[in-house]
């Protein structure tokens, strides 16, 4: 048996693989009968739910619902099972057998390996490979391949009745309640089928449960009770009422979980649609933010260099300013060269915008004389054409523009 996850719905399932390949067409038809029985059996809370089946590489694969464990695995892990749990499992399996017997079907292989416990704690009948119908007489001629530890004594004589399932269920409950290792033959096998349990077996059981097990294990199938008679007993009815309430409660919980899951999926889908519509709607688009570009302090002003110095040529005046501060044309004989540059006869006039800008400049800063500047110490002592300290002391931030205007005026006058 494999645990798989379906690609269709994402749920986990159990896939049972046949032990051997088909030995022929007859063997294949017999195994396909199990699939047909699964398909004919309506769903029931205490019967393993069938999903689908297929053939692959001459093997049969049956997909069913996934349960937490089998009853045999549960009994191996828990050697001291409470009696109330035993009663609950007995009532669950009785309801599953009733579902089969009402449709004239006999399981013929009731044992802990074919009983499964779901995540909700419910017992379910499974593995309907040996199930036969009372309306068909051909199947009764075939030999029984079930486990001899759980077989009813009449099956050895070829008698196929519904009471055989009741006996197998009774000895299964005995094994679960007393933690027994059932024999597959011999004296002890016949002792368990004598109609009375040995004294050393079941001494820790209550009187009601012990009498119920002995009644279900009667060797005569005519004396053995049916499923309907057992379910009508007072001790069983008490457990049955509580069990039905538990099943209804678990069903309500599962439906609530599915409802909120579907509600959450619907809400997520609605939010996705709304978000997509908001992006596509032109009136709900957010305005794009403009990227800030690096700017200077003069970017906010509405004038340019051409507007500040109107009707003037900066290139002509700049040579005069350069000759004012640095004697770049001096030679060995002390003469000056004009290099063919004729100064302009006009004095640059500041524009009205420049005058307004000049008034918005900050006040004069406290200047440091050149002589006391720390850069004076690092200056080269042999540098020529250096200004005097008195000239540099008069240069302050508010007088820079006047110095440039005076230099340009004197150059132009000369």
Enumerate the active-site residues.
Answer: 109
Beta strands 309-310 and 349-350, pairing class: antiparallel
Cα angle 156-158-163, degrees, rounded to a multiple of 5? 85
- 291-to-297, 300, 376 alpha-carbon distances in Å: 18, 16, 44
The C-alpha torsion from 93 through 94 and 98 to 99, rounded to 10°, is: -20
- 231-to-44, 87, 98 alpha-carbon distances in Å: 17, 12, 9
- 345-to-79, 307, 310, 312 alpha-carbon distances in Å: 120, 20, 15, 10
Beta bridge partners of 115: 125
Beta-strand runs (E) in 296-405: 309-310, 349-350
Secondary structure (3-state) at 168? helix
Q: Which stretch of DSSP H or E encloses residue 317?
A: helix 314-325
Cα angle 29-30-33, degrees, rounded to a multiple of 5? 90
Secondary structure (3-state) at 56? strand
Separation CA 263–CA 10 (nearest Å): 18
93 alpha carbon, distance to own chain's centre: 36
227, 238 in Cβ contact below 8 A? no
Task: Quickly tell me which residue has 């195994």 as its tokens.
Answer: 31
Q: Which stretch of DSSP H or E encloses residue 54?
A: strand 50-56
Sheet holding 123-125, edge to edge: 69-70, 115-117, 123-125
393 alpha carbon, distance to own chain's centre: 77
Q: If we measure between CA atoms, which residue out of 383, 388, 407, 391 comes closest to residue 323?
A: 407
């Amino acid at each position: 048996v494999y645990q798989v996850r379906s690609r269709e719905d994402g749920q986990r399932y159990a896939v049972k693989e046949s032990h051997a390949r088909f030995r022929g067409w007859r063997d294949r038809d017999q195994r396909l009968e199990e699939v047909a029985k699964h398909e004919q059996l309506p769903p029931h809370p205490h019967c393993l739910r069938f999903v689908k089946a297929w053939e692959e590489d001459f093997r049969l694969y049956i997909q069913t619902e996934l349960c937490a464990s089998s009853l045999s695995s549960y009994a191996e892990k828990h050697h001291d099972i409470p009696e109330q749990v035993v009663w609950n499992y007995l009532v669950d399996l009785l309801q599953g057998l009733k579902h089969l017997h009402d449709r004239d079907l006999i399981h013929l292989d009731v044992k802990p390996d074919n009983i499964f416990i779901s995540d909700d704690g419910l017992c379910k009948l499974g593995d309907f490979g040996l199930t036969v119908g009372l309306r068909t007489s051909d199947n009764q001629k075939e030999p029984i391949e079930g486990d001899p530890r759980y077989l009813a004594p009449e099956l050895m004589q070829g008698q196929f009745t519904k009471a055989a399932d009741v006996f197998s269920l009774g000895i299964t409950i005995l094994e679960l309640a007393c933690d027994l290792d059932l024999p597959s033959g011999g004296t002890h096998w016949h002792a368990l089928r004598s109609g009375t349990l040995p004294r050393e077996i079941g001494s820790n059981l209550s009187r009601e449960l012990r009498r119920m097990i002995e009644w279900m294990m009667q060797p005569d199938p005519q004396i053995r009770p049916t499923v309907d008679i057992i379910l009508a007993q007072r001790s069983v009815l008490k457990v049955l009422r509580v069990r039905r309430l538990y099943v209804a409660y678990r069903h309500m919980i599962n439906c609530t979980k599915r409802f909120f899951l579907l509600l959450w999926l619907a809400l997520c889908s609605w939010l996705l649609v709304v978000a997509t519509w908001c992006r596509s709607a032109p009136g709900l688009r957010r305005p794009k933010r403009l990227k800030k570009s690096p700017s200077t302090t003069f970017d906010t002003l509405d004038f340019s260099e051409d507007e500040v110095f109107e009707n003037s040529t900066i290139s002509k005046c700049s040579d005069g300013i350069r000759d004012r501060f640095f004697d770049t044309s001096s030679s060995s004989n002390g003469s000056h060269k004009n290099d063919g540059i004729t100064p302009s006869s006009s004095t640059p006039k500041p524009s009205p915008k420049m005058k307004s800008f000049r008034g918005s400049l900050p006040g004069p800063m406290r200047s440091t004389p050149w002589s006391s500047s720390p850069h004076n110490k690092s200056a080269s002592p042999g540098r020529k054409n250096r200004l005097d300290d008195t000239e540099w002391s008069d240069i302050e931030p508010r007088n820079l523009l006047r110095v440039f205007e005076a230099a340009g005026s004197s150059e132009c006058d000369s």
